[in-house]
Structure 1
């Protein structure tokens, strides 16, 4: 065992004890975070506008601070971007994480001197918890690759801005710098396909032990490695033992990845976003990710099926239940207040609090009142894959409201297969049965002859990559929505094929 590997085990033990301390006192931890947030921001413009000096508890906060999304908070963000200080948080941000906006161009998510370390520490702690939980630390001596956005930053009124993953690249600790790949020059390549080719050239002869990124883009990297060498990834990198991912559910990819690698490898799931690093998988044998309660983030939760009501109840941690779909609302040391992240989560445990991402509040299908969410379609597809010899590369689902020839409406599944099932009709039946078992609304619509059984549209190889490229979102942190309540994506896919 190397000195670095031995030291990692000791450090992992220390960090695990610290995590256990706040995880075992969740409500006191969140109450402390809440009070510190309100006190710190009481003299900011937002704090003065919302009477933070009169906020003593959560009930006061609910009365004074409505739930907002980015567009509703934008008047404050625009003042910050214009160079004003003490707007949402004391002083100026350290950075803006620039992301794609849905209605009005780019979004600028503030990162402050208080919030930035929580992103770095959570990623580090995820790996340390894995070391403590598994006893494995040899991988720290090998090379590690993090598929991410360009670390090149621009500046706006004295504040640097870039993609979150590019900003984080500036905070890689010194003891990992010699192990980290790709090179700075390669990381700065903007064109994703050129970047992947350059990464392949740099890494193909290295001793890669850890690979991290969004599964769909890691898959592209793996495929190009195999194209170049004719070997499986596990042969190219015999010491590759740990895959770290976030952004999307890994389960639909797992079979494909094991085929590309040639064996099973351990994995760690992360839940990062520009707005905060919310959770990570701290146990290999537990479902869900440990919610980060001591990271300067105060959480509220609204039941997803009540979210669009006039005054939905805002719950705190002590009020939540396992298995219920919630919209997660955050207030943070970056100055986001009662902020609707847009994500829906479910708790898999309340002792400690572990969560899984179930979808997006705007990414659902309810064209007929079926209330289908991403978690349901992902699990239904996984059931079908597990019972057949099929494997998939990518998929998305959309409603077909007005089919031809007067037939009943249906859900249309666009699936790019790595390996097609022997019987596509039986495969569709397996998915449909799993959907009916999970979603009683969907079951009622099928049994009531409002909907017919789902249909699958086989997609050509690389068609989803072509779609993402066509909308300028190939690579980086961009993710294909699993489902839509309209035909926008579906119609573009038909044009591609």
Structure 2
């Protein structure tokens, strides 16, 4: 087993030179991707209707191809789902990733070509391991199992009898993994792809708790639920009593900060490692290449061409758009992608801030529709997560989930506020202190919020509701979005999410 572990570790290191190459030559790497995408696009219905044959430069591309959101791409995607090929990509598309649709109540179906699977999602997974092995040469990760927690598959809703299928991106990836990758993962595929989450957690736990699990890949929220179920079944105090060789958790989808203290309690070891990824339905975009940093390296040779919209231009009819060459450090950008899955100048809905341009590293700052700006305070998800995590640390609490929305000015002259619903793994000893610290931290992090809070001129102190355990899961289940990569919107400028959850909380429990 030691020989196999050493060989696999050596094999994965071979990719590191290519990563160093795009770090050193980022614009050349993106130019090569751009040229490949345009050439492929010439053979598609989309490319012909947008005159791809006369695109000779990036400016030609900008002039001919408008910015798209899901609604404007949907007619092309629907044609592909119905069975027509060469609409948006030059090879057959047989898979569609069902997006959680956190920005609307309707699901989205993102095309997944063979190229996007092989050259983006799988390449990202291989690079994740390569970078981890480089940073941790003593790893034993290939001597045991990788526990992968994924979503489920479903029939193509536009062509149930056709060959094309749909599902969470994690399920699509698992279903198509090569044999060698299937051998080293757990649980069995039929369990991993179950769609009923309450039953799935039980089966996942029983299927994996007696394996030699060394690595875990998944979303923090569902991983915690699974680990707690395993502890219950094994009657253990912590996960190291179940999996003594566990060494790393590869995580993504939500910010890890609010969950770190919970994992440290579940896995009480200073040697346990955590590594973040940015892997969405639309593609694999970044990974944490420095073990002691929370920055992500932008992966520039995955068949994805990147553009960026400064958030101050986001709502303009003709927003400013910059390529990689034009980005600035510490500025909030909406991500615009063109991919080898057939998305063209597509607004993914995520926002990022660059921390470095040599190489290009960044942090995920939030969602274009997940913010609170009811009073000019411009609070983004990154602000909220930092503030609430710090408040939890200061009060020896740990967060399970949260959401927040504005309380708008009333006709009677009452002032506005931010209203929060917070579910804890372990509650603070003093909720009033927690609320004061949350407010204080947010004021320190966001000067616009601080200005609106000055002497309660526009905003009064936040209203905080203590949610009973499981309330957010119940809300997701009610909306048919329990499991997979579905997640609770952290912030919203509207009150509909918050009101729905408040209605589910017993009055005596929320105070």
Structure-2 residue corresponding to 1:10: 10
Distance, in Å, in 2 between the alignment partners of 1:43 and 1:172 is: 28
**Conserved? CA contact 1:8–1:137, under 8 Å:** no
Quick check: 1:142 aligned with 2:147? Answer: no
Deviation at 1:108, TM superposition (A): 2.3
Moved more, 37-46 or 158-167: 158-167
Structural mapping, 1:415-434, within 5 Å: 415-434=422-441
Q: Deviations over 1:40-78 (max 9, x none)?
A: 211321111111122222222111111111111112222
Distance, in Å, in 2 between the alignment partners of 1:371 and 1:61 is: 32
Deviation at 1:331, TM superposition (A): 0.5
Quick check: 1:164 aligned with 2:175? Answer: no
Distance, in Å, in 2 between the alignment partners of 1:491 and 1:341 is: 27
**Conserved? CA contact 2:288–2:296, under 8 Å:** yes
Structural mapping, 1:195-210, within 5 Å: 195-210=200-215
Distance, in Å, in 2 between the alignment partners of 1:459 and 1:104 is: 23
* TM-score in terms of structure 1 length: 0.95
SS in structure 1 of the partner of residue 133 of structure 2? helix
Quick check: 1:283 aligned with 2:284? Answer: no
SS in structure 2 of the partner of residue 115 of structure 1? helix
Structural mapping, 1:17-416, within 5 Å: 17-101=17-101, 105-117=106-118, 118-150=120-152, 157-231=162-236, 232-264=238-270, 265-402=272-409, 407-416=414-423
Distance, in Å, in 1 between the alignment partners of 2:381 and 2:269 is: 28
Distance, in Å, in 1 between the alignment partners of 2:193 and 2:426 is: 34
Change (3 A) 1:251 1:403: farther
Aligned length: 497
**Conserved? CA contact 1:364–1:373, under 8 Å:** yes
Change (3 A) 1:35 1:178: closer
**Conserved? CA contact 2:100–2:485, under 8 Å:** no
SS in structure 1 of the partner of residue 404 of structure 2? strand
Distance, in Å, in 2 between the alignment partners of 1:136 and 1:414 is: 43
Deviation at 1:79, TM superposition (A): 2.0
Deviation at 1:100, TM superposition (A): 4.5
Q: Deviations over 1:440-492 (max 9, x none)?
A: 21111111610012122111111111111111111111111111111112111
SS in structure 1 of the partner of residue 195 of structure 2? coil
Moved more, 248-257 or 472-481: 472-481
Distance, in Å, in 1 between the alignment partners of 2:504 and 2:97 is: 32
Q: Deviations over 1:253-284 (max 9, x none)?
A: 00111112223420111111121111111221
Q: Which runs of 5+ in 2 are unaligned?
A: 506-511
Distance, in Å, in 2 between the alignment partners of 1:289 and 1:409 is: 36
Structure-2 residue corresponding to 1:493: 501
Distance, in Å, in 2 between the alignment partners of 1:24 and 1:38 is: 24
Deviation at 1:226, TM superposition (A): 2.1
Moved more, 371-380 or 411-420: 411-420
**Conserved? CA contact 2:421–2:467, under 8 Å:** yes
Q: Deviations over 1:365-409 (max 9, x none)?
A: 111121110000001112212222111211111111257986422
Structure-2 residue corresponding to 1:483: 491
Deviation at 1:426, TM superposition (A): 2.0
Change (3 A) 1:109 1:6: same
SS in structure 2 of the partner of residue 72 of structure 1? helix
Deviation at 1:202, TM superposition (A): 1.4
Moved more, 27-36 or 4-13: 4-13
SS in structure 2 of the partner of residue 48 of structure 1? helix
Q: Which runs of 5+ in 1 are unaligned?
A: none
Moved more, 124-133 or 425-434: 425-434
Distance, in Å, in 1 between the alignment partners of 2:399 and 2:294 is: 23
Change (3 A) 1:250 1:403: farther
**Conserved? CA contact 2:370–2:381, under 8 Å:** yes
SS in structure 2 of the partner of residue 114 of structure 1? helix
| Structural RMSD (CA) | 1.9
Moved more, 403-412 or 30-39: 403-412
**Conserved? CA contact 2:307–2:337, under 8 Å:** yes
Distance, in Å, in 2 between the alignment partners of 1:197 and 1:404 is: 50
* TM-score in terms of structure 2 length: 0.93
Q: Deviations over 1:118-177 (max 9, x none)?
A: 211111210121111121320221121111013576656432333221111133333333
**Conserved? CA contact 1:151–1:169, under 8 Å:** no
**Conserved? CA contact 2:389–2:399, under 8 Å:** no
Moved more, 1-10 or 372-381: 1-10
Distance, in Å, in 2 between the alignment partners of 1:443 and 1:238 is: 47
Distance, in Å, in 2 between the alignment partners of 1:271 and 1:156 is: 33
**Conserved? CA contact 1:410–1:455, under 8 Å:** yes
Deviation at 1:104, TM superposition (A): 8.0
